[in-house]
Amino acid sequence: MSLQQRHRDVAAYALGVLEPADAFRFEEHLADCAMCTVQLSDFASAATSLAELAGPDRVEARPSRRLLDRLTDEVVVVRRRSRRRRLQLVAAAAALIVALPAAALAIQDAGSGSPAPRQIVAKDATTGVTAAAATQDRAWGTAVALRLSGLKGPGACRLVAIGKDGIEHPVLTWTVPTGGYGIPGSEGHEDPLDIEGGTDLPSGDIGHWEVRTLDGQPLVSLKG
């Protein structure tokens, strides 16, 4: 199955009509594809509504290819506007993932047999700060490489790892110049901020990461 075909299988997966082997391969693809994750979220609610309209008999028979195409078209029409707005955010997020800081590569290359770093992207709608992180378990805890954009200055910030038990573990602090980091149109300040650090918490114990000002104002939060 080609990468493009996997992208096109979102609706079929949401409608539950993929063959088991294809569904398994799509789930593997879904784990690493932010675009398909957003699309699946868009399709799922509409697909559920269509299933309810179809009634209990729908479970008994597999839809024909023609019916699947028609249902998919209906889902697309219903969700097109919302999906377009979300895909714009996903495109920006995907660009951040592709361009994660060099520190992320250092994490990935640290030690043979090390698991691939986990990638997380988030944007805060209120502050406008976007964060892309790569994390990896180490013997001593969790390493993290962070890229921040839309970070306005002047000021000072910190990164905190918050455990599932609610206990906070400080990771990094840094200052932000007047022009900020990753600010389009701000001469000399267009580039994002790349930083790296670590926490004693294993990744499985991290509830979420939070970037905040030193006086405690939240700027952006990433799930653990």
pTM of the model: 0.55
Q: Which residue has the higher pLDDT, 182 or 23?
A: 182
Residue 47 phi/psi, 5-degree rounding, is -65, -40
d(CA 189, CA 185): 8
8-state DSSP, 181: B
Q: What is the pLDDT of residues 40-90, one digit of tens each?
A: 655 655 555 555 555 554 444 444 455 455 555 555 555 555 555 555 545
Identify the pLDDT of residue 55.
52
Residue 158: DSSP 8-state: E
- pLDDT score for 63: 46
- What pLDDT score does 214 carry? 94
Is the pLDDT at 37 greater than 50? The verdict is yes
pLDDT value at position 161? Answer: 97
pLDDT at 44: 58
Under a CB-based contact definition with an 8 Å cutoff, are residues 149 and 93 in contact? no
Q: Please check whether residue 142 is in contact with residue 161, taking contact to mean a CB–CB distance below 8 angstroms.
A: yes
Domains and CATH numbers, the chain: 3-98 (no CATH), 102-223 (2.60.40)
Q: What is the pLDDT of residue 210?
A: 97
Structure tokens given for 81 = 């506007």
* 143-156 average pLDDT score: 92
Distance CA 222, CA 131 (A): 8
| Pure H helices in the chain | 3-8, 10-14, 20-30, 34-54, 65-98, 102-109
Q: Is the CB of residue 86 less than 8 Å from the CB of residue 114? A: no
SS3 category, 49: helix
Sheet strand arrangement including 130-138: 118-123, 130-138, 141-149, 193-199
The residue-averaged pLDDT of 149-162 equals 95
